[in-house]
Structure 1
Amino acid sequence: MALLHHADISPTKLELLAAWLPGRTWFSGDAAAVERVAACRFDDPAGEVGIEMMMVRAGDGPVLHVPLTYRGAPLAGGEAFLIGTTEHSVLGKRWVYDACGDPVYVSALARAVLTGGTQAEEYFEVDGQKQVREPAMTVTGSGSHEQALVLDVLRKVTDGDPTVVTADGVELSVVRAVGTRTPSGDEALTANWPGLSAPVVMATVNLG
Structure 2
Amino acid sequence: MSGIAKIYDAVLNPTKEQIAGTFGGFVELLGSYRLVDPDDEVGIEVLIGTDLDGRIVQLPLTYRGAELDPEHTLTELEHNILGHRWVSNALGDPVAVTQLIRTILTGDDGAKFSDGTPPALDIIGSGDRAGAQVSEVRLSESTRQRAVGTVRVDDRVRGFRLHMPRVPLSPRTTGQERTTARLNLTGSLPSLPAKKHVVAELHWRDL
Q: If the TM-score is normalised by the length of the shorter chain, which range does it land in?
A: 0.7 to 0.9
Matched, 1:189 2:180: no
In structure 2, the residue matched to 1:200 is: 197
Q: Contact 1:38–1:193 (CA<8 Å) still a contact in 2? A: no
Q: TM-score, normalised by structure 1?
A: 0.81
Change (3 A) 1:13 1:38: closer
In structure 2, the residue matched to 1:39 is: 32
Change (3 A) 1:92 1:56: same
Deviation at 1:105, TM superposition (A): 0.8
Deviation at 1:184, TM superposition (A): 4.0
CA–CA distance in 1 between the matches of 2:81 and 2:133? 33
In structure 2, the residue matched to 1:28 is: none
In structure 2, the residue matched to 1:150 is: 135
1:150 alignment partner, SS class = strand
CA–CA distance in 2 between the matches of 1:164 and 1:12? 25
Q: Contact 1:37–1:63 (CA<8 Å) still a contact in 2? A: no
CA–CA distance in 1 between the matches of 2:9 and 2:45? 16
Deviation at 1:158, TM superposition (A): 4.1
CA–CA distance in 1 between the matches of 2:7 and 2:109? 18
CA–CA distance in 2 between the matches of 1:91 and 1:53? 19
CA–CA distance in 1 between the matches of 2:56 and 2:168? 6
Matched, 1:53 2:37: no
Q: Contact 1:39–1:55 (CA<8 Å) still a contact in 2? A: yes
Deviation at 1:98, TM superposition (A): 1.4
Deviation at 1:198, TM superposition (A): 0.9
Deviation at 1:48, TM superposition (A): 0.6
Query: Which of residues 5, 8, 13 is equivalent to 1:5?
Result: 8
Matched, 1:120 2:111: yes
Matched, 1:108 2:114: no
| 5+ long unaligned stretches in structure 2 | 151-157, 173-178
1:133 alignment partner, SS class = coil
Structure 1 range deviating more: 192-201 or 36-45: 192-201
Question: Identical aligned pairs, as a percentage?
Answer: 32
Amino acid at match of 2:92: G
CA–CA distance in 2 between the matches of 1:119 and 1:81? 24
Change (3 A) 1:158 1:72: closer
Q: Contact 1:115–1:148 (CA<8 Å) still a contact in 2? A: no
Q: Contact 2:109–2:125 (CA<8 Å) still a contact in 1? A: yes
Deviations along 1:11-43, one digit per CA (max 9) or x if unpaired, are 10221232334xxxxxxxxx5x63212311101
1:100 alignment partner, SS class = helix
Matched, 1:64 2:57: yes
Query: Which of residues 168, 174, 192 is equivalent to 1:178?
Result: 168
